[in-house]
Amino acid sequence: MSNWYPEDKKELNNLLEKFLSQKGRTKIKEIHGLIVPHAGYEFSGEIAGKAYSLLKQNKNKKAIILSPSHYISLNGATSHNESEWITSLGKIKVNQQGFLKQNISQEHAIDNQIPFLQKLGFNEILPLIVGEISQEQAKQIAEKLIKLGGILIISTDLSHFLSYEEAKNKDKETIKAIEELNTEKLQNNENSACGIYPLMIALELCKIKKYKPELIEYKNSGDITGDKDSVVGYSSFSF
């Protein structure tokens, strides 16, 4: 279970309903994926919810979740070794195709996304944590994921522990790099995003499929807590 969102099922349901009621704006007709933050719900749940609200009418109920690895050191991508993932809302089926497997259930960057998907009626996930990869590997993984089908969920926060204004400037550059599908710029912008490797896969996939990421919302923790000395950046996109 999670320290990042309410363990009580009713409380969690109410919170998700609140987050999903604020619809994100997008010009994109058909959503193929989202980029969303993964902090505790009190910090970034609303920003993630605006993106997830765009999937309410979506008929595809399978999701591929890509996150950085906060707890396991690895190269490449690995999936989960269990056939189900359990949250306060119950169980969801895990797709176990085509990737190395190990127990990744402690990864909050994945776990924080699953209640949103459960609330939206998704019935299957392929959770993947992504360690260090080259741009070529990112492209290969992107091609593999396109064949699998499923809504792509990229779990990442932006800059970490800068002052409020520094973070805004740094995150503005990262947002621009994502919108321009500029992997090089993203990699050269140090402390740009904790999920830089999942983002590299997303950008390669967008290049192949000619998708264009569109910013839904940006805030940092200073906007939410009022503490502007050392902040973490959060953004959500659709593509």
- The per-residue DSSP string of the chain comes to --SSS-SSHHHHHHHHHHHHTSPPP---SS--EEEE--S-HHHHHHHHHHHHGGGTT----EEEEEEE-SS---BSEEEESSSEEEETTEEEEE---SSEEE--TT-HHHHTTHHHHHHTT--EEEEEEE-B--HHHHHHHHHHHHHH--EEEEE----EEE-HHHHHHHHHHHHHHHHTT-HHHHHHSTTS-TTHHHHHHHHHHHHHHT---EEEEEEEHHHHHS--SSEEEEEEEE-
This prediction's pTM: 0.94
CATH of residue 89 = 3.40.830.10
pLDDT of 218 strictly over 50: yes
- Specify the number of domains making up the chain: 1
Q: In this structure, is residue 225 part of a structural domain?
A: yes
Domain that holds residue 48: 9-238
Each residue's pLDDT tens digit, 26-64: 888 899 999 999 999 999 999 999 999 999 988 999 999
Q: In this structure, is residue 131 part of a structural domain?
A: yes
Each residue's pLDDT tens digit, 99-157: 989 999 999 999 999 999 999 999 999 999 999 999 999 999 999 999 998 999 999 99
